[in-house]
Each structure stands twice: as C-alpha cells, then as structure tokens.
Amino acid sequence: RHWVESKMTVTGLQTLLEVQGMPCFNLEKTPVTNKSIISSRSFGKSVESLEELEEALACYVSRAAEKLRAQGSICSLLSVFVHTNRFRKDLPQYKNHQTMRMPYPTAYTPDLIRYARDILKKIYKSGYSYKKAGVMLSGIESNKRVQLTFFSPGPERRKKEKKIMKTMDMINGKWGSNTIHYAAAGLEKSGSWTMQRSMLSPRYTTCWKQVPVVLAN
C-alpha cells in the first residue's frame, strides 16, 4: 500500500482500495445528458446524387433523434456536413457544413429530417463523389422545460408527435434498430451509401432477429 501511494499518488491508492472492496469513488447516479449528438458514417461506395445523400441523411437523423429522445431531451440546433474522400487525390475535393436554428426545439424525427434536407440542398454541389455525411444535434435541453415559441405546434399536435415517437422507439428497441423507419431513408440495405457489413459480428444479445432458434421434436 505504501509503495502504491508513493509511486501512483492518491488516485492509485484509491484504485487499489476499490479492488480490495473498499469504496473510494462516488457512483454517478444521475445519467449524464449529452450536450450534442452526432450521427455520421463513411459510405460503402462514393455517392454523387442528391437523392442518395438525402436518404443517408434521413437515416442518420433518425438515429440521432432516437438517442435524443432516449435521454429525455429536445434540440434547437441542427448541423449537416458532407465531404469527399480526402485520400483520393485524383478526384475533385469538397467539404461543407451548415447549422440552422430551428423555429422551435424538437425531438420529432420528421421535422428534423425535413430541416436536414433543407440544409443539404444548400451545401450540396453536383460533380463530386461524396464519401461521408452526418448530422449533429445541439442546443439540447430537457423536454420537461420546453420554451414555447410563436411557431411551436399546439398541445394536441405535440401530444400526437410524442405518442408516435414513443411507439417507434419501443418497436425498434424491442425488435432491432430500423425495424420500422421513414420512407425518406430509403431501403438502407440496398443503398450504395450503406457501410460494408460483410465482416459484422453477430448481434445475438441485442437483435431479436439474430437470436439462434432451436427446434426440438
């Protein structure tokens, strides 16, 4: 113990005592709320069309929004970014991003997808092979302290939106991510923007569809 304290300071000693069963670190009982949420991927193949970028972006927005709702939050800022493959020096290079403040804080996926597509149309340039795109949600606050604005939807609409999102999150949480999704995201498995997943490990513990089935007579 003396050697640990002299060589590894107080933190090292506390770690030793923890291993020996003596509590020294206070547990964080309150979950940490993310101040920003990013969802992005490198494409399996380069993408050139605006339509495919819109599909990819809709998928990423859906994932980010799901995480946002999981921590009981809403957001007021939405950022979108795209860039080409910087390692392909033989191809024209381009990257851009833009952030918008939405009319009102929200966690409603359809609204977020619509705003993200509006941003994408502003920063998209044809003639480039895009390798990556993504979204970032920021300006995050608790959904229990909503500051309503002149543009905020009425209470009935907010109630309906919350119910829809809760149902979707419950189904996707139980049966696997993307079990149900918005048409704006296209068919994720067939898009050239999807990641290469040939070496993906099985997800027996997190996806009902991959749980082994045993048949017995």
By DSSP bridging, strand 95-106 and strand 73-84 are antiparallel
Around Cβ 60, how many Cβ atoms within 10 Å? 23
Q: Tell me, what's the pLDDT at 199?
A: 45
Task: Provide the CATH topology of domain 37-191.
Answer: Dna Ligase; domain 1 (3.30.1490)
Q: What is the pLDDT of residue 35?
A: 92
Comparing 29-43, 63-77, 102-116, the range with the smallest average pLDDT is 29-43
Lowest mean pLDDT among 3-17, 45-59, 151-165: 3-17
For residue 110, name the pLDDT band (cuts at 50, 70, 90). very high
Tokens of 155: 């209470």
Both structure tokens of 5:
């304290």
For 138-194, give the DSSP string.
EEEEETTS----TTPPPHHHHHHHHHHHHHHHHHHHHH-TTSS--GGG--TTT-TTS
Q: Is the pLDDT of residue 125 over 90?
A: yes
Compute how many other C-beta atoms are within 10 angstroms of the C-beta atom of residue 212. Answer: 6
Contact criterion met (CB below 8 Å) for 108 and 158 = no
Question: What ranges do the domains of the chain cover?
Answer: 1-30, 37-191
User: Which of 13-27, 122-136, 197-211 is predicted most confidently?
Assistant: 122-136
Output the CA torsion sign for 97, 101, 104, 105: positive
